Amino acid sequence: IDTRNARVAQAAIEAGADIVNDVSGGTHDPEMLASVASMGVPMILMHMRGNPKTMQALTNYTKNEGVLSGVMMELIARSKAAEAAGIPRWLQVLDPGIGFAKDVDGNLSLIKGAGVIRANCGNMPFLFGPSRKGFIGKVTGETDPAERDFGTIAACLVSIENKEEIRDACNILRVHNVKAVKQAVLTYEAIQKAKME
């Protein structure tokens, strides 16, 4: 269930949902973390500053901090708060919040730095949701979100890119066109595993 409301999350879990996705990282509803902890289900903690109405005015990460450091520090803080509320780290999935309180350069930096972010957040499971986001439209000039699947595929492949020092930077991709992204990821992984003969 995708909600910032603890009561909605509880009702959805009781109705059969398996995981709680909170775009506020548990900050919108003061009861959310305790509620999820009491249900013993996984929780996606997304990074966002402000709320959906104010977030795009909050993209100003300082030069000293930078978007990578800022997002990492804030995700670590949310993870610690979740753990203190009773949600063990193994039930947490972190999401850097692509498109939420980030400008185009910030989104690009987060995707390129996926492995660095994950490594600095203790290698916890990571979710990236670049699908059809506005930054793809700004990079490509595509104004129709439904036509941004090619850009989405590129962003997804970079976010899962495996480097020797940082394996599996991203564990979960949230996308609209599942078939296209699955096909791209399977092909990418086959190429990565291929022997050079």
Tokens of 145: 């979100």
- The catalytically annotated residue of 80, 174, 179, 195 is 174
CA distance 113 to 141: 24
Is 53 a residue of the active site? no
- The catalytically annotated residue of 4, 78, 133, 148 is 133
Which of 175-187 are b and which e, b meaning 16 or more Cβ less than 10 Å from the residue's Cβ? bebeeebeebbee
Strand partners, 20: 43
Is 80 a residue of the active site? no
Are 61 and 70 a contacting pair, CB within 8 Å? Answer: yes
> CA quadruple 139, 145, 147, 153: dihedral positive or negative?
positive
The count of other CB atoms within 10 Å of the CB of residue 29 is: 18
Widest CA span in the chain: 57
Catalytic amino acids?
Answer: 133, 174
